[in-house]
Structures are given as structure tokens and as C-alpha cells.
Amino acid sequence: MRSGPLVRSFVLAASVPLGFCALVVSGMSTAACTKSPCAAQCAADPEPSAADRDRCESGAMPVDAPACREDYLRYRDCTAGLTVCTRDDRTDEGATTQAVLKECGPLLKTYTDCTSASR
């Protein structure tokens, strides 16, 4: 599956606010658990804005495609817990993207194919 800038941006937008605990990557990352799936995922990350938190808590899709809601929810659920934190307790965007693509790539493809078809 292609992982260009748009896909990486979508992966991070959909996964970072949803993980509960971070994936540990050998030697360079630490595990981190959050109080809320809609809060900052790593201890030193800034908290999301009130609007972003509300959007996350409502389960709003990043693309207006009602026919793709079930695909989105399956993808979103898959990303929970895949946020990778660095040693300085910030989200490692590259490692998180790789973890999400590895674990949830087929679900992301199904969702993005659906949203492309519904335009």
C-alpha cells in the first residue's frame, strides 16, 4: 500500500488521539498510557484543543462520507493503543505511522477506497 504524505497525515490524525497505551519500540521508545483516548497520547504532548477533543469524543470522521462510517470505525478501533512515545515522552510520528500501517493498513485502505468512491 502506498503511504504518501496524505496517507501519513490521515494515519496520524486518526490514530494519535485514539490510542490508550503506546507501543514499545526496542531501545528508543517508552510505553505511555493516557486517561482518555481523546487526550494527548504521550506525557509531553500538548493537549488537543477543545474542538479536537469534542470531534474525537463524538467519533466524527475526518472525511464527510456517511457510507464509509463502519469502515472508519473499524480502522479507528484498530489504531487504539498504537501511539509510540519517544524517550522524551512525545509522540514519535514516524514510528506511530509505521505501527498503524503495519497493524491497520488493510483497514485504512478499505476506508480510503470507500471515501474515494463516494466523492
Query: For residue range 51-91, what is the model confidence (pLDDT) as tens digits?
Result: 999 988 887 888 888 999 999 989 988 998 899 999 999 99
Q: Which helix (H) or strand (E) holds 111?
A: helix 93-117
Residue 19: give the domain boundaries.
5-117
| Sequence-separated (6 or more) residues with CB below 8 Å from residue 76 | 14, 18, 59
Averaged pLDDT, 43-48: 94
Please indicate, yes or no, whether the overall pTM of this predicted structure exceeds 0.85.
no
Averaged pLDDT, 21-37: 45
3-state secondary structure string, 18-35?
Answer: CCCECCCCCCCEECCECC
Our count of domains for the chain comes to: 1
Judge contact between 15 and 83, C-beta under 8 A. yes
| CA–CA dist 94, 110 (Å, integer) | 22
Averaged pLDDT, 45-55: 93
